């Protein structure tokens, strides 16, 4: 049974809901950017891209979560990143999830092996968390994007 009070734990700073009140459209260039050898640039705009439409599939079930800590750095999730979390997506094996474990919110990768569940950090400095029958666990949502500045 879930404890009545939920705290943010040591790696979630806050949660906010998605409010699709403003369209955020920006020009989308008609050419891909080469990550290998440079190619001649094509100087035209193909269309407009609305980030709400691109990033949000289930508006009523989408939330933003700010990360605190370094337990997920090997998954490309860093301190102070903003995660886009979709509560309508099924939390299956190997998905990164926001979980409430024993009353604390945390972000970890979910592993399900031989009927056992684990919440696993993506940083070897942190231990795996095995979910036991005594654990209070709710998978709150699945992380679909991480937003952070380039490093």
Among 108, 124, 135, 146, which one carries the catalytic annotation?
108
Among 5, 7, 39, 71, which one carries the catalytic annotation?
71
CA distance 128 to 118: 7
User: For residues 68 and 10, is the Cβ–Cβ distance under 8 A?
Assistant: yes
Residue 100, both tokens = 């409430």
User: For residues 119 and 135, is the Cβ–Cβ distance under 8 A?
Assistant: no
Q: What are phi and psi of 6, to 5 degrees?
A: -110, 125
Q: Please indicate whether residue 108 is annotated as part of the active site.
A: yes
Q: Please indicate whether residue 71 is annotated as part of the active site.
A: yes
CA distance 22 to 59: 13
Helices within the chain (DSSP H only):
51-55
Q: What are phi and psi of 53, to 5 degrees?
A: -70, -35
Return the active site residues: 71, 108
């Amino acid at each position: 049974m879930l404890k009545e009070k939920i705290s943010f734990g040591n790696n979630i700073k806050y949660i906010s809901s998605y409010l699709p009140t403003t369209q955020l459209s920006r020009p989308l260039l008609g050419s891909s950017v080469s990550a290998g050898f440079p190619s001649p640039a094509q100087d035209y705009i193909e269309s407009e891209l609305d980030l709400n439409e691109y990033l949000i599939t289930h508006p009523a079930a989408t939330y933003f979560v700010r990360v605190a800590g370094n337990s997920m750095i090997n998954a490309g999730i860093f301190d102070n990143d903003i995660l886009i979390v979709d509560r309508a997506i099924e939390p299956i094996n190997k998905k990164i999830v926001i979980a409430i474990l024993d009353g604390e919110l945390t972000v970890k990768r979910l592993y399900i092996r031989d009927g056992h569940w684990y919440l696993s950090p993506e940083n070897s400095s942190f231990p795996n968390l095995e979910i036991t029958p005594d654990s209070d666990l709710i998978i709150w949502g699945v992380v679909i994007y991480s937003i952070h500045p380039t490093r």
